[in-house]
Chains A and B, each alone.
Chain A
Amino acid sequence: MTAAGPVIPNFGKASACITDNRAFCWGWVRAHWHDTLEPHLIQHVELTFVAVAIGFALAFVLALLSHRFRRLDQPVAIVAGLIYTIPSLAAFLVVLPIFGISYTTIEVPLTGYSLVLLYPNITAGLRAAPADVLEAAHGMGLTRIQTLWRVELPLAVPAIIGGLRIAAVSTVSIGTIAAIVGGKGLGEPIFIALGAPHPFRTEIYAAGGLVVVLALSLDLVLVVTRRMLVPWTRA
């Protein structure tokens, strides 16, 4: 070993709030917002957006196909239902050996769940057009595509947004488990805090609170979006 021992810096004395593990220490939150809470929050937002966007695109395509070819609906619905029963924990662990520690490992299951949550709502929405309205459109000489574009899709907006709300909130929620396979997202600070000799309450509540706020904010944004797109419908 080389000459002198190491210099051990004074890591400071933590506030009584932290060492006593009291319910909530704002000091810790302020001090660690930038190095712990903010980066993981941003990761969580990114993960959610990608999963919901891709899930939506895929679910939309599938829903259009089932709308056109009604016989597809039953099998797709059954497969979707099965996928939903896959325990999220297992889904991540199973994809891990295939893609390694990466965003892909997290996004594949999240997108899958998002897809299966959106599909029933989009299909239900597409069927929301009353029969007489469809007949009127047919009577007016609209083609199938025109009917879809001008009648069925606009009427599907409430259901689609309803599905987006469910998917967004669920994705934020399931995303917390993703930390087990790669330390991304707001689940990571929670797991680290849980693993301390005494589960560190402030970090758990802070990260947990952020997750809930994120989920509810996305829900609110979508509700407002629906009001703007279809102001005549109620809750």
Chain B
Amino acid sequence: MIRKHTRRAAKAAFAISFGVAIIIGVFAGAARSSPTAGPTIVIGTKNFGEEYILGALYQQALQAKGFHVVNKGDLGPTENIQTALTSGKINFYPEYTGVIVQDVFHKASSASSARATYNEAKKLERTKGYTLLAMTPFYDTDVIAVTNATAKKYGLKSISDLSKVGSYSFAGQPECKTRNTCLVGYEKQYGIGHPKFVAVGSVSAYTLLDQGKALAADVFSTDPPLGKNSKYTVLTDPKHVTGFQNVAPIVKASVASSAGSKFAATVNAVSAKLTIPAIVAMNKAFYVNQESAASIAKAFLKANGLL
């Protein structure tokens, strides 16, 4: 009888003290003390492989030079990560120059070159208190892809050829539906009709193309499936609706200045090495070889003496 009470008492006491301990632990963990080495760089990335790799690259390179870095990881599409940036949850993330101009600041694409787009983006970000560090050599634009069979069937070479197809389904990320650099721009500039939009959510658009659930899909130019011997045809975009899309890290101006010139130099050194072949190789390692973004970044930085 006494043993049972002791057990029950122990059980209840354990549960409650466990709970209390957890609560204390959670709050203690949340209020972690920040180190003395300059400001903490809080990195975020968007929700696809290339961004995970970029985040890992910048994080590891900065950590190697003694900066304190926290990588918050996948924060979702542009709209969401912008909110995280402006609300101060992060102070650094790699963004595409054209996206900054057209989707963040909703300006029509007037720039005619990568450099011009970068300069415009830099000017716009400065008005909000953010710095744009150097841009990468590589660019990654949205492109419309169809399967080779589809391209042959309808004679599709350029985006405007899509008007030849009757009614069809168009797959893309949910935010593509309302973007100037995506569906809205395609419809306005090329008159591709009003296809039924299929939001892909967590699944890749290539899966839908393969299964015939969509005729055309909005994908990225540096995707591994578009590499050599591709099963897909990319439709040309002579009007540059999707803009020029080199990557440039957005950093909160106050953080950039207090982090010093070594900070900018470290980040720019990494960016300078990111050519199209480099990024395509890394994307392939991620999506085809199923390596982790962290290990890919580590291998690349090591090979280039940045780690």
Contact = CB atoms under 8 A, between A and B. Distances in A.
Q: Do chains A and B touch in the complex (CB under 8 A)?
A: yes
Interface in A30-67: 32, 35-36, 49-50, 53-54, 56-58, 60
A14 B223 contact: no
Interface string A1-33: 110011111011110001100000000100010
Interface residues of A, number: 51
Nearest to A11: B285
B109 to A, nearest CB: 24
A183 B51 CA distance: 14
Contacts of B5: 149-150, 154
A188 B292 CA distance: 12
A107 interface: yes
B48 A14 contact: no
Given A5-B275, A11-B296, A182-B73, A199 B302 contact: no
B304 A7 contact: yes
B204 A197 contact: yes
Nearest to B17: A57
A86 interface: no
B22 A50 contact: yes
B164 to A, nearest CB: 27
A194 B72 CA distance: 21
Interface in A45-94: 49-50, 53-54, 56-58, 60
Contacts of A6: 273-275, 278, 300, 303-304
A6 B280 CA distance: 13
A203 B302 CA distance: 27
Contacts of A101: 72-73, 75, 84, 89
A11 B289 contact: yes
B120 interface: no
Given A54-B23, A182-B73, A183-B73, A1 B137 contact: yes
Interface in B128-184: 137
Interface in B265-294: 272-275, 277-278, 281-282, 284-285, 287-292, 294
A205 interface: no
B238 interface: no
Contacts of A136: none
Interface in A79-134: 97, 100-104, 107
A107 B225 CA distance: 38
Given A14-B289, A53-B15, A101-B72, A8 B202 contact: no
A154 B6 CA distance: 11
Interface in A132-180: 149-150, 153-154, 157
A11 B287 contact: no
Interface in A168-224: 182-183, 188, 191, 194-200, 202-203
A104 B26 contact: yes
Contacts of A183: 73-74
B30 interface: yes
A22 B274 CA distance: 32
Contacts of A54: 19, 22-23
Q: Which of A6, A14, A49, A56 has the most CB of B within 10 A?
A: A6
B272 A154 contact: no
Contact of A8 (B7, B19, B72, B278): B278
Given A14-B290, A35-B294, A53-B18, A8 B284 contact: no
B110 interface: no
B37 interface: no
B119 interface: no
**Nearest 4 Cβ contacts at the A-B interface:** A57-B19, A11-B285, A6-B273, A14-B289
18 contacts: A5-B277, A6-B273, A6-B275, A7-B303, A8-B281, A8-B300, A11-B281, A11-B284, A14-B288, A18-B289, A19-B289, A36-B292, A53-B15, A153-B8, A154-B5, A183-B73, A188-B74, A197-B204
Interface of B: 4-5, 7-9, 11-12, 15-16, 18-20, 22-23, 26, 29-30, 47-49, 72-75, 83-84, 87, 89, 137, 202-204, 206-207, 210, 223-225, 272-275, 277-278, 281-282, 284-285, 287-292, 294-296, 299-300, 302-304
Interface of A: 1-2, 5-9, 11-14, 18-19, 28, 32, 35-36, 49-50, 53-54, 56-58, 60, 97, 100-104, 107, 149-150, 153-154, 157, 182-183, 188, 191, 194-200, 202-203, 229
